Amino acid sequence: MATTGPLGDILTTLLERQPFQRKAGAPGTLSQMCIALLEEQSEASGLQLAADILEAIKQHPKDARLEFYRFLNTQLDIDPDQIITLAQAYRENASTQTFQALAQASEARRQDLFRRLNRAPGATADLVNMRADLLKRIGEEQTLGRTDHDLIHLFKSWFNRGFLVLRQITWDTPASILERIIAYEAVHEIRNWNDLRRRLQPADRRCFAFFHPAMPDDPLIFVEVALTKGVPGSIQDLLSVERKEQRAEDADTAVFYSISNCQDGLSGISFGNSLIKQVVRDLSLEVPNLKRFVTLSPIPGLARWANSQGIVDLADDSARLKKLAAHYLLDIKKPDGKPLDPVARFHLANGALVHAIHAEADISEKGLAQSGGAMVNYLYDQAKITQNIENFADNHGVAASGPVRNLAKQAARLQRSAQEINK
């Protein structure tokens, strides 16, 4: 299946930048080099200086980077007094000139710096990595969030869906990319190359990833898909070494069993919704017999919540586990009214419904620790996706099947009974 269209090919060709001959590093401190870049008029000199700055950032001792981030945050910030003056001028005379002046003043100089840096070869990946490091520092110094706000503002433009290229990952994909897939897998560990081959090579397995033309060999996000008969209830069965391969055309269900974000520096920029929608469209064309699109998802916060309620040993009682999981997914909310579970928030916001809950579905050490081994199917019913999205956005309504709702009601009754006994 061809997953890269003509536009993607053009973008990849245009945005792959070739290295240029480097001169000796620019003199001065890192902050001085940044100011010089902001004032540089020559494109060639600007490219050279941008490359030198990015290299200097990478070579900068990690402990010293905090001072650089402070420089970005304070010395290249907006001037509130200037904005007030220009806002008053715009209020008195809403001309194009006063609007432009106000707009320019309202943008921190660091945004212009980031744009100039991004012209250098390989700069986009360097800036993404820089933000990943910055995010680690924000816990120590909350005001750095201003600089992070500007980076994420730019990234949302640079990484919008129109620039992303969908590619199928196969066993014939270059090894450098396959190595990254192994490293980035965040849901079900890929133990070795044979394990990876079992997820890519069989006729009933697929893997798709989004790439950006400026980072053509480094995926942004990828999803692993199993083509099955019926809805699976166990990751062990889905990934079993002994499982029998089937023909893709015999499958009636596409199962999204692992979605992994690859770039920490792109945290807060959502690719998953677009990825799932595109893969559903492509698979519907490739395998017309597919009738259902579901996930087999972890419930990462279940055990933590249960422990906070004094409930332990989740895996000891499968019937109780399923009821508690249903109650947790449907009824336990954050202060803003959205589900407490992060995976549930993601799929419900994208229009899925809670379809089925399974005990003993992930008996790995990680699966038992985070949910007592329980997993959940989220169903993407294409006829109801829009309705579900609107209901979740407007009312935080959780779409769920009848059996799951019944499980949640039983759990609520059990919890009330336990509270009455403890009075």
Residue 188 a catalytic site member:
no
Please tell me whether residues 239 and 353 are part of one structural domain: yes
Pick from 186, 211, 150: which is nearest to 15 by CA? 211
The pairing of beta strand 221-228 with beta strand 253-261: antiparallel
Q: Are 294 and 377 in contact (CB under 8 A)?
A: yes
Q: Give residue-wise pLDDT tens across range 31-90.
A: 999 999 999 999 999 999 999 999 999 998 887 899 999 999 999 999 999 999 999 999
- Verify that 134 and 167 share a domain, yes or no: no
Say yes or no: 106 and 244 in one domain: no
Number of domains in the chain: 2
| Domain end residue (candidates: 123, 158, 193) | 158
- Among residues 158, 190, 215, which one ends one of the domains? 158
What would the pLDDT profile of 318-335 be if each residue is shown by its tens digit?
A: 999 999 999 999 999 999
How far is 196 from 186, CA to CA, in rounded Å? 14
SS3 content of the chain, % helix, strand, coil (to 5): 55, 10, 35
The dihedrals phi and psi of 400, each to the nearest 5 degrees, come to -155, 155
Tell me, yes or no, whether 140 and 251 share the same domain: no
**Position 63 in a domain:** yes
Alpha-helical (H) ranges within 118-170 are 123-138, 145-158
Looking at the fold, whether 69 and 210 belong to one and the same domain comes out as: no
> Do 404 and 263 belong to one domain?
yes
Q: 243 CB contacts (<8 Å, ≥6 apart)?
A: 237
**Residue 184 lies inside a defined structural domain of this protein:** yes
Residues 141, 207 within the same domain:
no
54 and 176 assigned to the same domain: no
Choosing from 258, 260, 297, 371, the catalytic residue is 297
Out of 212, 327, 347, 355, the active site residue is 347
**What is the domain-level CATH number for residue 351?**
3.40.630.150
pTM for the predicted model, two decimal places: 0.89
**Domain coverage including residue 231:** 163-422
| Residue 16 falls inside a structural domain | no
Radius of gyration of the chain (CA): 25
Specify the CATH number for the domain of residue 53. Answer: 1.20.140.90
Measured CA to CA, the distance from residue 289 to residue 286 in angstroms comes to 9
Tell me whether residue 347 is one of the annotated catalytic residues: yes
Asked which of 113, 143, 158 is the last residue of a domain, the reply is: 158
Q: What are phi and psi of 248, to 5 degrees?
A: -60, -40
Per-residue pLDDT tens for 98-140?
A: 999 999 999 999 999 999 999 999 999 999 999 999 999 998 8
Tokens 């920029």 locate to 269
Pair (264, 362) in one structural domain: yes
If asked whether residues 147 and 206 sit together in one domain, one would say no
Residues 70 and 174 in one domain: no
